[in-house]
Amino acid sequence: MTNLKVCFDLVESPSSFVKVRSHYNLAKQVVVERWQRSRLEQAQENNCGGRLCYLFCALTKCVECSSEASELADIEWDNLGFGLLPTDYMYMMKCSQGGNFSKGELQRFGNIELNPSAGVLNYGQGLFEGLKAYRKEDGNILLFRPEENALRMRQGAERMCMPAPTVDQFVEAVKETVLANKRWVPPPGKGSLYIRPLLMGSGAVLGLAPAPEYTFLIYVSPVGNYFKEGVAPINLIVEHELHRATPGGTGGVKTIGNYAAVLKAQSAAKAKGYSDVLYLDCVHKKYLEEVSSCNIFVVKGNVISTPAIKGTILPGITRKSIIDVARSQGFQVEERFVPVDELLDADEVFCTGTAVVVSPVGSITYKGKRVPYGVDGFGAVAQQLYSVLTRLQMGLIDDKMNWTVELS
């Protein structure tokens, strides 16, 4: 036990290693789960139980861990869809109501325990985010605007009466989780690592009230295209009876309840052969809002129009990025109320979101009338914007926007 304690003392002091940064917590688990079972017995047999031997063993295992994390997972990278592939590690951090989040830690990916009366289960007190990591040609990894996701989570947490990690805590947790699961980041051009941060009321509460405890969690999964059509045009149907959000509600934050509410209309649309649903405002029932999980853009000539952010539409980070890219490319972008009738005369329509990035729309059906757009692929405008954004995300062009964060 004395020898094992020495090893733990080393693990608890990262400076004794050298700087292993985000692999620090990972190294702790490796020592416990792997090294203890084999190296300890071997060291005792060889009578090398001194501090130097243990430092060497711990360092060796940490290096092995880093090497292992840098190897690609053995999966069919050419056949990635948008589904969950369990990876190695997840990140978890807890906080009490009225308190602040402290240092979290990596854990093996797996199920978590929740009290049956947890606030997230009983009252839907929960948020989530979505962002991606891309592998560059040199093997390094790029994150795309993680601080924007952190800010959006904080805004949503305020609306849902929850404490939230600081921007720095959020970004560092994302970095640590991605590096721990580095082997699951697809090769260049094969997809991306989807990163799903969660914030939930995990404490037990029976009466309607904010939960007494909160959990921040991140898990990841390698993904390909969101829609089964890939980058081929998708077909939407306008929903004019059911609505995604209402004024004064939570449509403008990424709360979990917003998404369960669209499943009925989405399932009915998919059963009829459509890719997804385009929602209208619930007051006038004539202005475009958004698709189930992405924002909508309408192109006419050199003008690109998109519904204004007014509390019922999620302020998409890809939406925000595309607006900036479009303006930098010389397009006029209007954020305004967009009547559904403008779809009849549009040159192009496309969607944006973290999952879909930019997806061309091939047709929209409204009250039985189908309006076709480009059926062979991207329209010229969507193609131009998609090319600029994805090349920037993957590190193929200079990031003059300062949007990417590189992990080596």
Show which residues are catalytic. Answer: 254
CA distance 95 to 201: 10
CA distance 236 to 74: 36
CA angle centred on 314, ends 207 and 213, rounded to 5°: 30
Helix (H) or strand (E) holding 9: helix 2-12
What is the β-pairing status of strands 276-280 and 288-291?
A: antiparallel
CA distance 273 to 267: 10
Taking alpha carbons only, the member of 365, 303, 305 closest to residue 337 is 305
Start-end of H helices in 47-196 = 51-70, 119-123, 146-159, 167-180
Question: Are 247 and 233 within 8 A, CB to CB?
Answer: no
Per-residue HEC secondary structure of 371-384 comes to EECCCCCCCHHHHH
Residues ≥6 apart with Cβ < 8 Å to 78: 190
Block residue for tokens 């329509």: 349
Residues ≥6 apart with Cβ < 8 Å to 207: none
Block residue for tokens 């059911």: 242
Question: Are 325 and 196 within 8 A, CB to CB?
Answer: no
312-336: string of b/e by CB count within 10 Å (b at 16+)? bbbbbbbbbbbbebbeeeebeeeee
